[in-house]
Amino acid sequence: MRLSSLQKYILLKTAEKGGKVDRKIFRMFYENLEKKPGKKYQEKIITKSLERLIDRGFITGFGKRTVRKWFITQISLTSKGRAAVKELLREKQRKLPFRKRTK
């Protein structure tokens, strides 16, 4: 499973908050970066990441529908998304491979 750093951030924040989460909290991802894209592009990138996570079945999106487009306002994790979060946390806490000393 290959996920971008933004997608990992989205999954971890959604699991941390629990339930339905507003998409505005995902803008905080860009606060710590040195080179930030413009506000307009940040929204496009977040929207694209959310759509890709929905397509993979990790999250469910809630929002408004117009004639041409969906506007995702909130998201929640699916069971597949919860499993992905557990895997991400397991990767984060992976132990170092120590060698046994022989004399």
**Percent of the chain scoring above 70 in pLDDT:** 92
| Domain boundary assignment for the chain | 5-92
pTM value is: 0.81
pLDDT in tens, 53-93: 999 999 999 999 888 888 999 999 999 999 999 998 887 76
The CATH number of 5-92 is 1.10.10.10
SS3 assignment for 54-92? HHHCCEEEEEEECCCCEEEEEEEECHHHHHHHHHHHHHH
Q: What is the pLDDT, as a whole number, of residue 103?
A: 66
